[in-house]
Every structure is written in structure tokens, then in C-alpha cells.
Amino acid sequence: MSNEAYIETPLGIAIISGDKNGISSVSVTRESKKQLSKNIPAQLQEAVAQLTEYFEGNRTHFDLKLNPLGTDFQKKVWNELLKIPFGKTATYLDMAKRLGDPKCIRAAATANGKNPLWIIVPCHRVIGSDGSLTGYAGGLWRKKWLLDHENPVKQQSLF
């Protein structure tokens, strides 16, 4: 049986699901009235702690047991997403090439959009070949926020 936890993030309430086999999904809800979890199930406590550290700016890499549901191809795409470093981006074409077939760009983009592990599997780091913030299931404003959070522009001093 899967457990769930609801936590507050700067981008809305995150829903974390998983069990002894690992974290199966992390998503963000648009519902603002969702009840936050008072007691976090044991299997989800580390995920909650690491996500909290990420949003506080104290974590750049997640170290969690993951158990997402998906096809073999989707899991292959999600594993490639895990290789995009914090603060960096890749294009959909880069992803297709890494998967060994530049012609699979649409399939890779579709699998990217079905990523069930919001933030942990960093699909927000994939952008268009022209540098544009292309589609994002959580909304482009969230994608922009995440990319800015991971790569803040440091204001240079003039003096």
C-alpha cells in the first residue's frame, strides 16, 4: 500500500507517494485547500526532508530510493534526466541523442512530460533547442522558478 504526504512548497502543495519499495510519485497540486500532513509516514520522511532542503537552497542532489511506474522507454528517459546536473539544462534534442536516436525526440519529450517524480527527476531542466521554456506539466511559471532557484543570477557589484 502506498503512503502519501502533503507538504507546503514555494510552488504549491507537493504530494509525495511511496512505500517500502521507494518513492513512486511527487507532484504539485493547484489546490490550495489541501490538508497538509501532520504525520509523515516513515517511508516518506527522507523524501520530505530532502525536498525541504532543496527548497531552502541546501540540496543540489537527491539520494532517494525511487520506484516510478512507467514503460521501459519512459524509465530510460527518466534515468537520462537524472544525469542533467543541478543548475544546468539540456535540450530535447540532447536527450534524444543521449538515448541513441535523434529521431526519438518526440517520444522522449512525451516521456519527459509523464515524469511522475517532480523535481527529484529534473524534467524542468529540459528546454527547447532555441533556449525557450517549452511545455511543462506544472506550468511554465513553475519551470522558470525552478531554473532560477537552481541557477540564480548573482548581481555584480558596480563598486
Please classify residue 83 by burial: count the beta carbons closer than 10 Å to its beta carbon, then call 0-12 exposed, 13-18 middle and 19+ buried: exposed
| Cell numbers standing for residue 95 | 536527450
The CA radius of gyration of the chain, in Å to the nearest whole number, is 16
> Is 123 tagged catalytic?
yes
Catalytic residue among 123, 126, 127, 146: 123
Torsion angle, alpha carbons of 40, 42, 48, 50, to 10: 160
Element (H, E) at 18: strand 12-19
Residue from 43, 48, 67 nearest 6 by CA:
48
Catalytic amino acids?
A: 123
